[in-house]
Amino acid sequence: MSKLRVESFTISLDGFGAGPDQDINNPMGVGGSSLHAWAIPTLTFQQKLFGNDSGETGVDDEFAARGFQNIGAWILGRNMFGPVRGPWPDESWRGWWGENPVYQVPVFVLTNYPRPPLVMDGGTTFHFVTEGAVVALERAREAAGGKDIRVGGGVNVIQQYLRHGLIDEMHVAVSPVLLGSGERLFEGVNLPALGYACVKHEATALATHLIFSRQ
């Protein structure tokens, strides 16, 4: 059976996966962009995000690359799709990534407000799911065709799937920065009680990589 995975989700030393005051100018909240100093220089991110053929290899890149292996669908929270809040005023917002997003597979966006599917270049189609996290996962499994599903975030969405005990594996990178406030990834989440354990950890100059698995 396919796995539900979190990959390359980065938190600060004080546990925040996003900074405060998220908006169109600060999609990860104030200071949130500093979390990804380990990821942006990697060959994987340079290729996926910017179309460059050069970038850094090594441990950080290995962790970045694993997040795109055997992925047949993604699940995102609405904030990860864009800064629009409340009912959709129109269909003009088409994501942060231009007409050819990095996903290149079906993406299921959790939202309280319906919207028709959005077909993009490169194989990405955004499906907007109003029936909740469990239904989104059911639809993603069907679309993934036996491959794994990646939960892209944000914090609230990951917490929902953790509390349901549905995440099979989670790669969290801890960046050596302090945000002070924002959204804490493990706020109110008792990982041991839910059956999760850290099964691997590896440090680099820019991050400590942790792999959690449900036992």
Average pLDDT over residues 56-75: 98
pLDDT, tens digit (0-9, with 9 covering 90-100), for 107-163? 999 999 999 999 999 999 999 999 999 999 999 999 999 999 999 989 999 999 999
Q: Are strands 148-153 and 4-11 parallel, antiparallel or unpaired?
A: parallel
Q: What is the pLDDT of residue 215?
A: 85
Which residue would you say has higher pLDDT here, 97 or 55?
55
Q: What is the pLDDT of residue 177?
A: 96
Q: Before 154, cis peptide (omega within 30)?
A: yes
Q: What is the pLDDT of residue 123?
A: 96
Q: What is the pLDDT of residue 22?
A: 78
Cα–Cα dist 6/150, whole Å: 6
What are the structure tokens assigned to 166, written together?
């549905």
Read off the DSSP letter of residue 190: -
Cα–Cα dist 89/109, whole Å: 17
Count of Cβ atoms closer than 10 Å to residue 197 Cβ: 11
Domains of the chain: 4-18+29-83+98-214 (3.40.430.10)
pTM of full prediction above 0.75: yes
When mean pLDDT is compared across 22-31, 70-79, 143-152, 172-181, the lowest value belongs to 22-31
Reported as a pLDDT band with limits 50, 70 and 90, residue 25 is confident
Count of Cβ atoms closer than 10 Å to residue 215 Cβ: 9
pLDDT, tens digit (0-9, with 9 covering 90-100), for 169-185? 999 999 999 999 999 99
Strands (E), 12-133: 16-18, 71-77, 106-110, 118-119, 125-129
> Closest Cα partner for 29 from 20, 42, 39?
20
Reported as a pLDDT band with limits 50, 70 and 90, residue 28 is confident
The contacts of residue 210 (CB under 8 Å, 6+ apart) are: 171, 172, 173, 174, 198, 200, 201
Q: At 59, is the secondary structure helix, strand, or coil?
A: helix
> Closest Cα partner for 136 from 215, 78, 69?
78
Reported as a pLDDT band with limits 50, 70 and 90, residue 201 is very high
Cα–Cα dist 77/85, whole Å: 12
Q: What is the pLDDT of residue 27?
A: 79
Average pLDDT over residues 79-83: 90
Q: At 19, is the secondary structure helix, strand, or coil?
A: coil
| Segment holding 197, helix H or strand E | strand 196-203
Q: Are strands 183-184 and 125-129 parallel, antiparallel or unpaired?
A: unpaired
Cα–Cα dist 153/191, whole Å: 17
Q: What is the pLDDT of residue 23?
A: 77
